[in-house]
Structures are given as structure tokens and as C-alpha cells.
A = this chain, B = another copy of it.
Amino acid sequence: MIEKKHGAILILSGPSGCGKSTLLKEVYKNIDEYYFSISTTTRKPREGEKEGVDYFFTSKEDFQEDIKAGHFLEWAEVHGNYYGTSLKPIKKALEKGKLVIFDIDVQGHEIVRKKLGEKVTSVFITTPSLEELEERLTSRNTDSKEVIEKRLENAKYEIKYFQKYDYFLINDDLKEASKQLVSIANSTRIKSKLFEKELATIWMK
């Protein structure tokens, strides 16, 4: 008997303000058997952020110890803070045949792709333009002017990597963008590379 679906990884990247979190909420409503990978970070929680939901918040010291112990699939320093992904829960979810969803940056994407190669499908999400990103960041009113500047600089840097991703998704219409992201999520687990090479033989038995 051939397994119809396999464990796979869906990586989402894109500048803060591109609407990733809102899109993700739509995805969750419309797919099953997923596991959202929660990052660990040393940055301070923003208003409303919850431990174990948005991030696992930790100290720089503990984070550095975990790096040494090899507990991270990937980690990076961004804007002076550490962000990382613990390996254990990912492995478990993949073994169970789940779709593991990551919200990580371009550096993280590169590392995970290198390490878990064929299991990965990735989407770069962005606004239609840089101006629109600035507008969204300003109007959400959560960051200081300096932080917004930093995010915009970072966005300019990240978008250069869009062709390393499998898909490029412009989020200018939430309904349409959600539909496309759900479509991508629904198809990742039947990529032919996830099936065993011996499948042809199994099929003929």
C-alpha cells in the first residue's frame, strides 16, 4: 500500500508588515494535519504576544547554550536579537506525516533548505511595493520610527532572494492571497520527491 501524503515543510518568508500572520490564520482554517513551528527568540515580547503561541521567549544566555548543544535546526541574529528553530518537534511532526509550517527569514530558509532539502516548499510573501509596506508598518502602530526604518532596509535586502523560493506571493488582496497560500499548502505533501523510489514496484504488486 502506498502512503498518499507525506511529511513536508512549508517555509514562509517576507518582510514584517507583508501580512504573513493574517494569511497564516486563513491557512490554518483550511488545511489539516499541520504543525506550526514556533521560534525561540531573545527579543522582548510585543504587546499582546504570548509565550508558546507567538514565540518561546528566552534569555541570550540560554539561547547561546542551546546553540552549543546543537538543539537548533537554524538560528540567526537579526536586529540585535537571536531567533531560532528547535529541531526535535520538527522531526516528530515530519515522522507523523504532518505539514510543518515555518515563518522564518531568508537566512533561515537557506539553512533549512540545505539541511532538509527535498522536503521543503517555500513561499516569499510581500506587499505590491515598498511604499505600501511602509504604510502598513506605520499604520499598525506597533513599532518606533527607527524600527520601521530597520524593517524597510531589511525588506530591501530580503527581496533580492525571492528567486531562491518556490513561490512568489504578492499580498494585495487577502482573499486571493489566502486562496493561493492554501493551494500551495495543500499540494506540498504530494510532491513526487517525497515518495520512495521503489513506489513503481509497490504499485505493480
Contacts and interface: CB of A to CB of B under 8 A. Distances in A.
Interface of A: 1-2, 4, 124, 126, 128-130, 156, 159-160, 162-170, 172, 179-180, 182-184, 186-187, 190-193, 195, 197, 199-200, 203-205
This chain's copy number in the assembly:
2
A167 B191 contact: yes
A179 to B, nearest CB: 7
A182 B30 CA distance: 14
Contact of A159 (B1, B164, B200): B200
Given A4-B172, A130-B204, A167-B191, 20 more contacts: A2-B128, A129-B205, A156-B204, A159-B200, A159-B204, A160-B200, A162-B199, A162-B200, A164-B192, A166-B192, A167-B192, A168-B190, A168-B191, A168-B199, A169-B190, A180-B187, A180-B190, A183-B183, A183-B184, A187-B187
